[in-house]
């Protein structure tokens, strides 16, 4: 009777929800309110890194907002997000480190969300980071170290974890 090593268990480290508006002002304020209502957390503004004259964007201008969810909030939001995309993901959404991202075209696809003409319709990106216990060595301030190869999360492990945890169908295996 062999027990699974607790240090090999996968967990969802964080879920980052991002709405890119492309401009500041009233539309960005509406996106922030919407994101706060959906996630239950106050969003942080994201700023342009470079100037792009064709889109009228200057470096340093606010162009979007994001929220980082952890623990139970992350899992609850993921359940709603997977419901919005009918519990289907493509294998190409996963990277080689076990993280994955997908988009929700309209926020009204989320369960419990209704169309509000004052807000409009926003799409959003959902990025999920999957880790094992012990990944703190990668982020800590003192004695930062690389995670050993055998302890990293592979694409196949992440796909299997998401299949089992959320009952999601992976297309293009």
Q: Assess if residue 25 is contained within a domain.
A: yes
Among residues 65, 68, 81, 52, the alpha carbon closest in space to that of 21 is found at 65
Q: Phi/psi class of residue 129: alpha, beta or left (left: φ > 0; alpha: ψ in -120 to 50)?
A: beta
Q: Which helix (H) or strand (E) holds 37?
A: helix 26-39
Q: How many domains does the chain fold into?
A: 1
Using an 8 Å Cβ cutoff, are 106 and 97 in contact? no
Q: Assess if residue 1 is contained within a domain.
A: no
Among residues 47, 70, 67, the alpha carbon closest in space to that of 126 is found at 67
- For residue 5, what are the β-bridge partners? none
Q: Assess if residue 94 is contained within a domain.
A: yes
Residue 130 sits in a domain of what CATH number? 3.30.1440.10
What is the pTM (predicted TM-score) of this model? 0.83
Q: Assess if residue 78 is contained within a domain.
A: yes
Q: Assess if residue 16 is contained within a domain.
A: yes
Per-residue pLDDT of the chain (173 residues; tens, 9 = 90+): 447 888 888 889 899 999 888 777 888 888 888 888 888 889 998 888 888 788 777 888 888 889 999 999 889 888 888 888 888 888 888 888 889 998 888 888 778 878 777 778 888 889 999 988 888 888 889 998 888 888 888 888 888 888 888 888 888 75
Name the residue range of residue 162's domain: 6-171
């Amino acid at each position: 009777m062999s027990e699974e090593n607790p240090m090999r268990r996968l967990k969802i480290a964080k879920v980052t929800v991002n709405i890119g508006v492309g401009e500041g002002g009233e539309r960005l304020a509406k996106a922030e309110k919407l994101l706060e209502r959906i996630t239950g957390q106050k969003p942080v503004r994201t700023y342009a890194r470079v100037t792009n004259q064709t889109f009228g964007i200057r470096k340093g201008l606010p162009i979007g907002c994001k929220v980082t969810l952890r623990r139970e909030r992350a899992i609850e939001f993921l359940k709603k997000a997977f419901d919005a995309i009918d519990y289907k993901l493509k294998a190409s959404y996963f990277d080689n480190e076990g993280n994955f991202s997908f988009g929700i075209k309209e926020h009204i696809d989320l369960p419990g969300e209704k169309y509000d003409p004052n807000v409009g319709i926003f799409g959003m990106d959902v990025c999920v980071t999957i880790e094992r216990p012990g990944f703190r060595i990668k982020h800590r301030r003192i004695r930062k170290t690389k995670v050993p190869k055998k302890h990293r999360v592979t694409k196949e492990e992440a796909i299997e974890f998401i299949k089992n945890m959320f009952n999601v169908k992976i297309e293009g295996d």
